[in-house]
Chain A
């Protein structure tokens, strides 16, 4: 008989449910309890870089908007630096830059949006370079394990073409599901990023 290893098992995930806002965004649930809710400001007022807005909607397999979704955002600053000790350059991260935020959909329309700074290119493995991207984590009723995906930018054609993650996607047309489309609205760049949980246009989700 072989000996068993003594690794623990990761605690299993459970859905965040329809009332996730109570815990993670109580203001949206309809009450005021904390002195400050977390994840309201991603970049901070002093971070250099291009101010952008990202807008989108999450759709279910029938094409209906998911109106109770919560998305967390994690990104590098405009120089491609993460505010985390494992980034070798983290001491140089933009002042006040948090890189993390929480976004919830409108309960009536399912539309969501957030304001941030466009991230820079980020080092990849073994000397590669990753195109600018925003990491997303998506939870809602009916999602049993939080879904990870990435948002890339339509105006980064060269960098996207060289990106080691986009290039892992076998079906080329599916790479487009990770690319947010840029347009300008009164001088502010707005990127549209719709997420399809299943169906013909299913977004590429990641096992990170």
Chain B
């Protein structure tokens, strides 16, 4: 008897940030008040977009190169690498990862960012790649700077990199942020600390990975991402007819 993939495990909403985090002021008027309607998975949720190597360019994953025209970007050169796994620790192969970040001075290349730190002419601040067959990925970039933001008057975002991940199904879609081990701003940030369980934040902090650093060239940080897993059972309710 074959075992076919079944429903995704229910998302543990207590592990994620709640919709309303009063200390993160933007969430106050943008958080639904009413309960979410819980659905059993149908075809609409267990399917999702697929991507291939023709969708992305050969240096899209290298932020040191992908926008540079006159030289290298300013900042601390780093490798960012890890695996995408599901909750059953199975690798998620050939899934699209997109990242975006501020430059080493904490400035975003965005028409709405007016922070006084300068734009780096050789740094775009975004990258994308596909995981390999074992769920591995890597990027090369510069470590982003901290920057101030209007929430309380003296709030600073810890250095962070935004991640967008697809998985195999629309039910696995995730955006998150990665922080850097040892950053004293992490514990002061109302976004980073928005999860009720402090162990959840640990999952967002990438440790320094000296074994992946390239001597005399760049440091490395390791960031594994876990997407929702799914049942694999001989006693599954059928997802669809026939």
Bound pair: A and B? yes
Spell out A's residues near B (CB within 8 Å). 6-24, 26, 29-31, 33-36, 38, 60-62, 64, 66, 68, 72, 74, 76, 82-88, 98-100, 107, 122-128, 130, 133, 135, 137, 139-148, 150, 165, 168-169, 197-199, 202-208
A141–B85 CB distance below 8 A: no
Separation of A40 and B69 alpha carbons in the complex (Å) = 27
Give me 7 other A-B pairs in contact (C-beta within 8 A), A142-B29, A206-B37, A208-B171 excluded: A9-B200, A11-B227, A12-B176, A14-B17, A15-B175, A124-B42, A145-B17
Stretch at the interface among B73-81, B108-116, B210-218: B108-116
Residue B87 at the A interface, CB < 8 A?
Answer: yes
- 19 of the cross-chain contacts (CB-CB < 8 Å) are A8-B88, A12-B15, A15-B26, A23-B100, A26-B124, A30-B110, A35-B57, A61-B29, A76-B44, A107-B111, A125-B42, A126-B237, A135-B45, A135-B170, A137-B170, A139-B175, A146-B174, A206-B38, A208-B171
The interface residues of chain A lying within 8 Å CB-to-CB of B26 are: 15, 141-142
Q: B177 CB to closest chain A CB, in angstroms? A: 4
Assuming the A-B contacts A125-B240, A142-B24, A202-B33, are A14 and B175 also in contact, with contact meaning beta carbons closer than 8 angstroms in the complex? yes
Residues 43-91 (chain B) with a chain A CB within 8 angstroms:
43-51, 55-57, 60, 66-67, 85-89
A22–B43 CB distance below 8 A: no
Spell out B's residues near A (CB within 8 Å). 5, 9-13, 15-19, 21, 24, 26-34, 36-51, 55-57, 60, 66-67, 85-89, 96, 98-101, 108-113, 124-126, 128, 162, 164, 168-171, 173-177, 191-192, 194-195, 200-201, 203-204, 225-229, 237-242
The interface residues of chain A lying within 8 Å CB-to-CB of B191 are: 14-15
Residue of A at shortest CB range from B45? A208
The interface residues of chain A lying within 8 Å CB-to-CB of B49 are: 74, 83-84, 98-100
The interface residues of chain B lying within 8 Å CB-to-CB of A126 are: 237-238, 240-241
Q: Is the interface of B mostly helix, strand, loop or mixed?
A: loop
The interface residues of chain A lying within 8 Å CB-to-CB of B111 are: 29-30, 107
Assuming the A-B contacts A12-B203, A198-B32, are A144 and B176 also in contact, with contact meaning beta carbons closer than 8 angstroms in the complex? no
B24–A207 CB distance below 8 A: no
Separation of A38 and B96 alpha carbons in the complex (Å) = 11
The interface residues of chain A lying within 8 Å CB-to-CB of B34 are: 202, 204-205
Q: A196 CB to closest chain B CB, in angstroms? A: 9
Q: A59 CB to closest chain B CB, in angstroms? A: 10
Q: B10 CB to closest chain A CB, in angstroms? A: 8
A197–B173 CB distance below 8 A: no
Q: B86 CB to closest chain A CB, in angstroms? A: 8
Separation of A159 and B191 alpha carbons in the complex (Å) = 42
Contact of A13 among B16, B96, B113 (CB under 8 A): B16
Most chain B beta-carbon contacts within 10 A, residue among A87, A145, A204:
A145
B173–A137 CB distance below 8 A: yes
3 smallest beta-carbon distances between A and B, as pairs: A23-B100, A142-B26, A100-B49
B67–A33 CB distance below 8 A: yes
Contact of B16 among A18, A128, A144, A208 (CB under 8 A): A144
Assuming the A-B contacts A202-B34, A206-B37, are A11 and B225 also in contact, with contact meaning beta carbons closer than 8 angstroms in the complex? yes
B32–A12 CB distance below 8 A: no
Residue of A at shortest CB range from B108? A19
The interface residues of chain B lying within 8 Å CB-to-CB of A11 are: 174, 176, 203-204, 225-227
Assuming the A-B contacts A22-B126, A125-B237, A205-B36, are A9 and B12 also in contact, with contact meaning beta carbons closer than 8 angstroms in the complex? yes
